[in-house]
Structure formats: structure tokens, C-alpha cells
Structure 1
């Protein structure tokens, strides 16, 4: 059997290009999270000590033992910087810190009283010593890391207190009293505050698979639209203005319904996730904007890129966009901060802002970037449609045929 050399050359080239495509894209994807466990110190946690006594000292001693590249960085501020606990919550809400832990006022005196008095020990609640705060809706998988780190810090504080003051307290305490013994055994605990509890199973999809589904339907539909347009000779039948109006109308309607469907299944599987009436339409609107700009991008690229190269573009576009939402940029190598300019990252930031009722104030950046992509997309879409009609007109003229409506350009 004689196999033509052009065939072998083409197959060999495709073989090599496909390997490089997936190797490059997956290396980019994996590189985003490579050794991220050793960059956890990039997460910052606020410490405020309203007590200024042994409990606060124990927190700092515990952190000194836990401090490492794999543990978030504890940053202490005075109570004058954050006069109330609401100020601390506001700081987390604004994204200044990933979490916070604070020592409640009079925590040490309550603990000392409980160790000294059976009556005080009976009413003592160790969770009144500390409080920690985090935002469960902001990168849910990493929010769990923050929550777990804060819990570890609380456990370490308990051990540090025993090391600093346990022996002295035990030497003077009435250890035969059950309540006092219980206090000595478990002196320090913490109350936890999740600014936006996000415990539904689907939470791990919001910044991963969901971002893919914003892009892929646009590609599939654009391919179908192009195929149907070619079969029905719609470019020959309609003028340039009519073609633009038709495709623009179809793009608006398709992305409008697709974004509604996505918002619908996010809400249908939200379980006990607390939402408001305004969050659904806001989610729908921002998803529509993102899907529409991706539609423009896909439609424009298909007008200039040969079909055999479309998989290279689509896969790469999906990977770079999804990579920007997989994990916080604090954990990624600096190069990956190019994701700030990508629509998927800014879309996810807006969604967090919507779902947390403003606890991710990046709209000043995210909305202009998304609208910029949309404007670039619509200009590219207009140019692409014009190119399609002109190319067809030239092709028909070369065959001696004419288009029904000469008012094309």
C-alpha cells in the first residue's frame, strides 16, 4: 500500500501540534496550582486583641509555633485601628484580609475567675474567649482552608495557654471541683462567624466547571449557526445590514436564554444557601453579559481562523480563562496575574460580589473590563460579518454570479 507523502506529512504535523496543544495548556493549568500549599502564607489573617492579657499572648505564642509557608500570615492590629468587631467584619468583607481572629474583651479575667471560683466555672463558656471570621463564599475550597487554619490556631492557643499559665493555674485551683477541672482541661475556645455560609455541594463548581460552561455553549452554537447559514445560503439572500441584524438578534436571544438556564440550575441546586430575590436577576444579567462577549469572540474567530485550527483556539481560550478562576492569585506565580484582564476572572469576581451582597468590592475594576471585552467583541463581530459577506460576494463574482441585493457594504 502506497501512502501519499502529503498525507503522512499532514498527519505527522497534526500529531505533533495536538501533543503540544495539550501539553502546553495542561502545563499552564497545573502550573497555576503547583506548590500552592507552600504559598499559603500569602493569605493574611487579622488579629485584634481587645483583652491585652494572657489569652492574647497565647494566640501570638501559638502562631509563632505554626508560622510557616504552609500557614496563613497573622497580622496584628491594635484595637484602636478596629474599635469594634463590626469593623473587623467590614475589613474581611472588603477583602483586606482572608480571615480574622480577635480576643474578646475581658477574656482573660473571665477565665481566671472561672479557675478560681466554682460558681464562675459553672457558667463559663470557653467560646467567649476568641472569635474568628471568614467568608465562605469567596473561593469555597480555599475558604475551608482559612476556616481550618483558624481552628488550628485556636487549638494551638489552648496548648500555648497551658504552657504559659497552666501550671500556675492548676497549682492554685480546686481541681476536685468538676466545673473547674473542665475549665482547666478546655480553657479556650472560639465562636466562628461565616460572613456568607456556602455549604451546598455545587459550590466547588462555581469557579471551575461553571466558567467553562459560560464559553462552550457559545462555540457550539456559533458552529451550528455557521453551518446552517452556509446550507441555507443566508449570506447570499440577505444584505450586510440584514445579516448583521439577524446574527446580532440571534446572539442576544441565545445568550439571554442560556444565561437564564445557567442561573436556573445554580439556583435549583443551591440547597439551603441563603439568597435574596435580587441576586437571581443580577446573576442572570452578568452571566448574559459574559456569554454575549464570548459569543462575539467565537463568532469573530470562526470568520478568520481555518476550521482545522479552531480546536487550538477554543481549548486554549477555555484553559486560560478557567485557570484565572481556579485559585486566588495570592497562591499563583506572578505570571498568572494576567488573569486580571480575562473575562472569566472578572465574571467570577462580580458573582462573588452579588452572592455576598457586596463583600467583594471589585466592581470598579471588573465591570469596566467586562464591558471592554464586550465592546471589542461587538466591533470584531461587525468586522467578521462584513468579511463573510464580502468573501462570498467576491467568490460569486468570480463565478459570474451576483448577490440578490447589491447594497451590501
Structure 2
């Protein structure tokens, strides 16, 4: 190629003896890291896919409350329809007596308190009203098909899952119950009570009810599908990259060897707090900007902002702890593992995953997502009693270990600087000693040459004046040559020391990366 001409510079042949050990070392390093990374990502893929394995066969773990306030044929039809649909891929219908939930409002409270994923109930006297509507007249005209069977649910709880696992299945149960009701009462109604001349009565007979929905928090906007996936991932990646820039600043300005550790720790916490404060505000603002008619208010915006701020900051300090206490080559592996584990803990409700994955209760992503659901649905996800303590434990432990890590970094930075300065002094002393020996040897050779020249002039001169002239001429020339030689030697020595110190400084800056964790070159810094 015509570009990058230095890239075509001659290299040792592959048959060169010096190449063989390097080639073997490279192949060994590549092979080990290939195997290690393949094992890591295979494990992460298996962990992720395992949480989704046979998801539909775990739908029966969703408990749906059923209360029959009617106590007539419609309630019996619901039970009959459930018998036909019951199975691993259908929620479990848990029937309770009306004495446990005397009013429909108590059913709504039970769903809000997440005692059940949803609830289904028949309205009082629904069968009597339907029978009266079949007879025609004013009862048929005023018959409300939506006041028969009601489902209560909270769409803000894992909306992409609950749509199909709760609401759609309840619609299927309603349809099955309607079929069962028609089969059980159609013949008797046609023979006795059906007024075939009344259109309203025929409409009630052909479509006796429509499933009514009480949705505690409608959440149907398109962006809902990434609240528990990409939002979590981007927050984690955002903190990692800024951590790299912060480490780059401390490395570039050599702060670990010039500033006291306690001041570094305080300033780092302030910087991370401000950054995550602004970052969480931007994230919350983006969620609100694309909420598309979602019924949330300014108070919920503020609470969501504070929850995301806490989550972002604790992840900043946790990732900082990774970079302090984990060997640098393994930090990227720890980062990707942390991301996958956290995202997996909120992909699905634990009811749809194998029991092993319930350890995800201890991960911050699962806790913050439950806090967000509680905020978005006006308190209808009361899990703050465990979610907030989990988040604050990560925050406190992360801040403590991160602050201790500042002292660790400063300690090793000073040790490295002292070792490098000592090494630099030793190299400078060796260069100076070698230069002095060389200069002394040159002066001795110059002295011998001058004495020989003086003797020659003395023997060859026939007049005393010529002897004096020769001596006076030779001595200044000798002194000037010695002075010039000394000045040139000093300049050369200064250049050599300057190059050596510069090289040592570059090595120190480069090696300091090992003590600060992942770091990126900071743009826009002179």
C-alpha cells in the first residue's frame, strides 16, 4: 500500500531464530484468552437463556383471585371454563369466598398489594339481570354487558409479560365461560324466557357479557419494552465509561502522588454524585418525553429521578470497586457479567423462571425496577421494605470500599514512583560515571599529545625566541580545545539525561494505568 510506508519496513523472517519464542508466546496467550472468554460467554448465554427456558410452562405460577359475588350460573360457567383451560401455561385461579373480600374495592386492594397478579369477579345479581334481559322489555334495553365479569390487574408490573400472561388469559377464560354458559342455559332460555321478538333480548342472548377491565396503571406506550432491558444496560455502561474518564484524569495529572488520599476520595464521590445526578435526570427526562400519554405526574417524575440516581451512583462505586480489587485483565469480564446478571434479574418475574434465579432478589437492578413499578403505579407494588435496603447496602459498601481503594491506589502509586525515580537516578549515575571516565581519558590523551608537541617544538627551535613563541602558542590552543571538549561533553550529557528521564517518565505514566483501573484518554484537555 502507498499509505503508511513505515508499515512496510522490513521485519524479521518467520524462520528467524528470534521469532520462534515470540510466536509461541503469542499463540499461547491467544489460546488461553480464547478459551477463557468462550467459557465466560457460554456461561452467560446459558444463564440468560436458562431464565427464559420454558417460560410459558411456568405461567401457572401466576395466582389469579376469583370471587363469585353473583352465586349463579355465570359463576358456574367461569369454573367450567377454567376446567377446560387449566394447565401449566394458564394462570392458577384461586377462588375465595365473598366473606374474605366483601366489596370489589377489597379485591382491587389485594391486587394493588401484589397478593395476586390479578383478580376476576362476577358482579352481584349478574345472572338475574341477564335472565331479565332475555325476557325483553326495559330490562333488556338497560342491560349492561360490561357489568357482569370484571378483571383487575396492574399493567405497570412487567407490562410486556402481564399483557399476555394475565389479561389475555382472562379474556380467554371469559370466552370459555360464555360458551359454557350458552351450552348450559341456551335450550332452557329458548323454550321459556327468551323473547325472540325483542332485538335487545336477542343481543343479550348472543353476547351475554363483555369482560370489563380495571387496570390500576395503564402502560401501553411502545417504550415500555425497554424499561427493564436497555435502560438498565445503558445506565451500567454509562457509569463504566465515565469511570474510565475519571481514572484517565487522575492518571494524566498524576493526582495520586500529589494530592492527599482523603481529598481524592471526597472529590471523587462529589464528581460521581454530580455526574450520576445529571445522568439520571437525563434518563428520566427521556422516559417522560416518550411516555406517549402515560398517566404519570411531576411527583412521580421526581421520585423516579431519585431512584435512578441512587441506582446509577451505586453502580459507579461498585464498578470502581471492581477496578480496584480485581486484576485489570479480568475487569472487562466482571463488567459484562455484572450487566448480564442484573438484566436477567428483571427480564421476567421470578414466577416464570426456575427457582434458582430467585437469588436475583439480591441484585440492585431487580430492586430498583420494583421501586420504579411502585412509583409508576402509585404504590401498587409494595416491595420497598426489601428493595430500598438492598440498594442502600450496595451504596454504603461501595462508597466505603471505593474510598479505601483510593488509599490503596495512592500507596502503590507512590511505591511505583519511588522505584522509578530510584531506577532513573541509578541510570543517570551510571551514564554520568561513564561520561566522566570517557572525558578523563580524552583529557589524558590530549595532555600527552600536547606534551609531545611541546618537546618537538623545543628540540627543533634554534633561537630562544622561537621556543617561547611555541610555548605561548601551544598552551592557549590546548586550553581552548579542552574547554570546547568539556562544553560539548556537558551538552551531550545533558541530552542523554534528558532523553533518559523522558523515557522513564513515559514508562511511569504508562505503567500507572495498572493502579487506576480502566482509563481512557480525556478529550479537550491541554
Q: TM-score, normalised by structure 2?
A: 0.75
Equivalent of 1:265 in 286, 291, 294: 286
Larger CA deviation: 302-311 vs 12-21: 302-311
- Equivalent residue number for residue 175 of structure 2: 155
Q: Is the 8 A contact 2:112 2:154 kept in 1?
A: yes
Partner Cα separation in structure 2 for residue 268 and residue 307 of structure 1:
39
Partner Cα separation in structure 1 for residue 406 and residue 54 of structure 2:
45
- Equivalent residue number for residue 124 of structure 2: 105
- 1:114 partnered with 2:172: no
User: For 1:207-246, what per-residue CA distance to the aligned partner results, in whole angstroms no more than 9, with x for missing partners?
Assistant: 1111112211111111121122112211122111121122
Equivalent of 1:382 in 395, 403, 418: 403
Partner Cα separation in structure 2 for residue 304 and residue 76 of structure 1:
53
User: For 1:351-379, what per-residue CA distance to the aligned partner results, in whole angstroms no more than 9, with x for missing partners?
Assistant: 01111110000111111111011111011
Partner Cα separation in structure 2 for residue 227 and residue 159 of structure 1:
69
Q: Is the 8 A contact 2:367 2:387 kept in 1?
A: yes
- Equivalent residue number for residue 388 of structure 2: 367
State the Cα distance separating 1:348 from its structure 2 match.
0.3
- 1:17 partnered with 2:29: no
Q: Which has the higher contact order (CA 8 A, sep 6+)?
A: 1
Matches within 5 A, 1:85-104: 85-104=104-123
Q: Is the 8 A contact 2:136 2:198 kept in 1?
A: no
- Equivalent residue number for residue 330 of structure 2: 309
Equivalent of 1:79 in 78, 89, 98: 98
Please list every run of at least 4 consecutive aligned residues from structure 1 whose deviation after the TM superposition is greater than 4 angstroms.
Answer: none
Structure 1 or 2, whichever has the larger Rg, is 2
- Equivalent residue number for residue 300 of structure 2: 279
Larger CA deviation: 314-323 vs 201-210: 201-210
Partner Cα separation in structure 1 for residue 301 and residue 199 of structure 2:
53
Q: Is the 8 A contact 2:58 2:88 kept in 1?
A: yes
Equivalent of 1:244 in 265, 273, 279: 265
User: For 1:87-137, what per-residue CA distance to the aligned partner results, in whole angstroms no more than 9, with x for missing partners?
Assistant: 000000000011111000110000111112343222212211111111010
- Equivalent residue number for residue 59 of structure 1: 78
Partner Cα separation in structure 1 for residue 238 and residue 395 of structure 2:
17
Equivalent of 2:184 in 164, 172, 176: 164
Q: Is the 8 A contact 1:170 1:184 kept in 2?
A: no
RMSD of equivalent CA atoms: 1.4
Larger CA deviation: 202-211 vs 119-128: 119-128
- Equivalent residue number for residue 438 of structure 2: none
State the Cα distance separating 1:304 from its structure 2 match.
2.7
Equivalent of 1:325 in 332, 346, 353: 346
- Equivalent residue number for residue 232 of structure 2: 211
- Equivalent residue number for residue 444 of structure 2: none
State the Cα distance separating 1:15 from its structure 2 match.
1.1
State the Cα distance separating 1:400 from its structure 2 match.
4.0
State the Cα distance separating 1:284 from its structure 2 match.
0.8
Q: Secondary structure at the match of 1:75?
A: strand
